[in-house]
Amino acid sequence: MKDEQEQAASVITDLETNHLEFNDPRLLRDLLGQHDQHIKILQHALRVRIRVRGAAIEIEGDPLQVELSSQIIRQLYGLLEKGYPVYASDVDYAIRILSGDGRAKLQDIFLDTIYISAHKRTITPKSIAQKAYIDAIRRYDIVFGIGPAGTGKTYLAMAMAVAELMKNNYVRIILTRPAVEAGEKLGFLTRRSRRESKPVSASLVRCPTRYGGFRPSAEARGARNHRSRPARLHARSNLE
């Protein structure tokens, strides 16, 4: 019984509390999220207790987790000060990034704008690996992106391509089918290659429409050839 009490007392004394003060109530509301959603994400992911007291946030828990939570909150607030809108997904990304590298700067990653779509959506990297990926695309003529599905390889590459096209740095985007199977039974290049490559090429042709301002042509939709003409560009600019 005495040992259990001593262990409990040790756990209590190991807890740490940190107070963060904020000057702008409007930014603080955005930091907390709707119905304190952002705070709930942090509490669940990092196993800390967070209380909001006026213009201050109090964090209690394991010292390492308290420090990490404080760093995430400060850096997210810094993004808001720069005009970057913070969403629940950004909180998740911030937790992953800073949990993996405590020296990372969210502003260096999230504020590196790749493209702003016609719907005013800002496309930016969401991880250290994605930031390195787009930096490599800017620096080198050819970049190979290797990784599991859903990590943003195609999405970011297309965003970079569309951004350069919109700046008139290039007049054409060329999409090529992979020579190696990528989850689809494509086979070798034959007379039927257009039909066989449709699952891959069609998804790439549709990709720019997500950014806004691009309308696939009837030919592209019919897969007779893979060309889409941007609605807001001069006649020479097209997507092949």
**pLDDT tens digits for the chain (240 residues)?**
555 555 555 555 589 999 999 999 999 999 999 999 999 999 999 999 999 999 999 999 999 999 999 999 999 999 999 999 999 999 999 999 999 999 999 999 999 988 776 666 788 999 999 999 999 999 999 998 888 888 888 889 888 988 888 888 888 888 776 655 555 554 444 444 455 445 545 555 555 555 555 555 444 444 444 444 443 333 333 333
For residue range 7-34, list pLDDT tens digits in order. Answer: 555 555 589 999 999 999 999 999 999 9
In the sheet where 172-173 sits, what is the strand order?
A: 172-173, 238-239, 228-230, 214-216
Instruction: Indicate the pTM of the whole model.
Output: 0.69
Residue 116 burial (CB < 10 Å; 0-12/13-18/19+)? middle
Question: What does DSSP assign to residue 191?
Answer: T
Distance linking the first and last C-alpha atoms of the chain: 75
Q: What does the block give as tokens for 37?
A: 């959603």
Distance CA 130, CA 102 (A): 17
Measure the CA–CA gap between 134 and 125, rounded to whole angstroms.
Answer: 8
Alpha helices in 148-239 (DSSP H): 153-166, 193-196, 198-206, 218-222
